Amino acid sequence: MTIPQNEAGAVLTIDLAALAANYRTIVAMGGGVPVAAVVKADAYGLGIERVGPALAGAGCTTFFVAHLSEARRLRAAVPDATIYVLNGLFGAALDTYLAHDIRPVLGSREDVETFAEFCNGLGRRLPAAIHVDTGMNRLGLDLAEAALLAEPGTAALAFTPALIMSHLACADEPGHPLTARQIDRFQQIRGLFPGIPSSLANSAGCTLPAARHDLMRPGIALYGARFVTGRDPLAPVVRLDAPIVQVRGIRAGDTVGYGAAWTAGRSSRIAVVSVGYADGYIRQAGSTDRKTGAPMRVNGVICQPAGRVSMDLLAIDVTDAGPVSAGDTATLIGDGVGVDDVAEAAGTIGYEILTSLGKRYHRRYTG
């Protein structure tokens, strides 16, 4: 459902041209290695039905989602794409993979056996990816299971292995020793499955030539958030602007918000916007007497929250922002304030900020 702008607490602008430009930047980075796109979690909260076609228009032909329901939505938006479901098989929904030409990522021995049995029943070798764990210890076959699966003539290969993949755990931290170990382990696994394309590089892995292999699959980098520690993100994709609904003056010593957690140190002006943690502007981004909150801009001036973020409201200290009135705009993300700036103030990561952005905004797509 699209919320009319005059009924919404804020406007979330999603720049599809910047998204496409980020995809092309990663393509150039890879030196000819094909680049897929991870669009799980509703394209990191930005809308899979709009993000998918925008990336397809930039040349993307392969996509990864987490849930089968996401794959069905994406198939309707990009009819000709190759689509993988990262989280494996979904119970009795095997017919959905066949009906919508969707490929599971098989991450356990049980997944492999179930899908092989399904293909045997059909008399068809459907394509699937095989996920092998190299150190994340989350999803994936262990190395011994992968070696058994690779043995010639194994009955489990009643399906067609279309991709061998694993996932890097620490590539966003340059020099972390686990990354080199994972790259070495994955190289061994690739040798077990000659001739089958392989994929290891997530967003951070795209910066590592030894991790690129046959298919890179960036996620967070596409959406303009930081993907390697100490490295600038690519072009910003989102901005969040909220109209100010009220401005009030308070005296030195007055407190603002729940818990009286923020105290004015001087006579101050407080602007209130209709955005809160129910909209994904998470509670930890607020300010207290002991903690500075997330930056935001009013009249081009960096301001701070005044007090805790409420469910539906956020107070901002605009004392130094010049004349401010109801109807003016506070920019919560944009104009130099990135999702990572909000995340850092909230003690979290850009992924959580992006994927939390709520459904009560008026969403405006540009580009």
112-135 pLDDT, tens digit each = 999 999 999 999 999 999 999 999
pLDDT band at 153; cut points 50, 70, 90: low
Residue 308 lies in a domain: yes
Q: What percent of the chain has pLDDT over 90?
A: 94
Q: Tell me whether residue 129 is in a domain.
A: yes
User: What are the residue ranges of helices labelled H in 167-278?
Assistant: 177-192, 209-212
305: CATH: 2.40.37.10
Same domain flag for 202 and 131: yes
Of 223, 254, 271, which marks where a domain is finished? 223
Residues 168, 300, single domain; the answer is: no
Q: In angstroms, rounded to a whole number, what is the distance separating the alpha carbons of residues 244 and 184?
A: 54
Is residue 229 in a domain?
no
d(CA 36, CA 52): 11
Q: Which domain holds residue 202?
A: 33-223
Share of the chain above pLDDT 70, in %: 98
Burial of 317 (0-12, 13-18, 19+ CB in 10 A): buried
If asked whether residues 165 and 76 sit together in one domain, one would say yes
Within a domain: 1: no
Number of compact structural domains in the chain = 2
Residue 56 has pLDDT above 60, yes or no: yes
pLDDT band at residue 256, thresholds of 50, 70 and 90? very high
On the question of pLDDT at 342 being above 80, the answer is: yes
Does the structure show a pLDDT above 60 at 155? no
Model pLDDT for residues 57-111, shown as the tens digit of each residue: 999 999 999 999 999 999 999 999 999 999 989 777 899 999 999 999 999 999 9
* Full-model pTM: 0.95
Summarize pLDDT for 30-39 with one digit per residue, the tens: 999 999 999 9
147: pLDDT strictly greater than 60: yes
Q: Are residues 154 and 264 in the same domain?
A: no
Does 293 map to a domain? yes
Residue 345 clears pLDDT 90, i.e. is over it: yes
**Catalytic residue annotation:** 40, 258
Q: Of 200, 223, 246, which residue sits at a domain end?
A: 223
Calculate the average pLDDT of the chain. Answer: 96
Please tell me whether residues 56 and 202 are part of one structural domain.
yes
Query: Do 57 and 155 fall into the same domain?
Result: yes
Q: Which of 180, 196, 223 is the last residue of a domain?
A: 223
- 19 within some domain: no
The per-residue pLDDT for range 284-293, each reduced to its tens digit, is 999 999 999 9
Q: Is residue 4 domain-resident? A: no
Q: What CATH number is attached to the domain comprising 172?
A: 3.20.20.10
**DSSP codes, 27-75:** HHHTTT--B-EE-HHHHHTT-HHHHHHHHHHTT--EEEESSHHHHHHHH
**Within a domain: 290:** yes
Q: Do 58 and 119 belong to one domain? A: yes
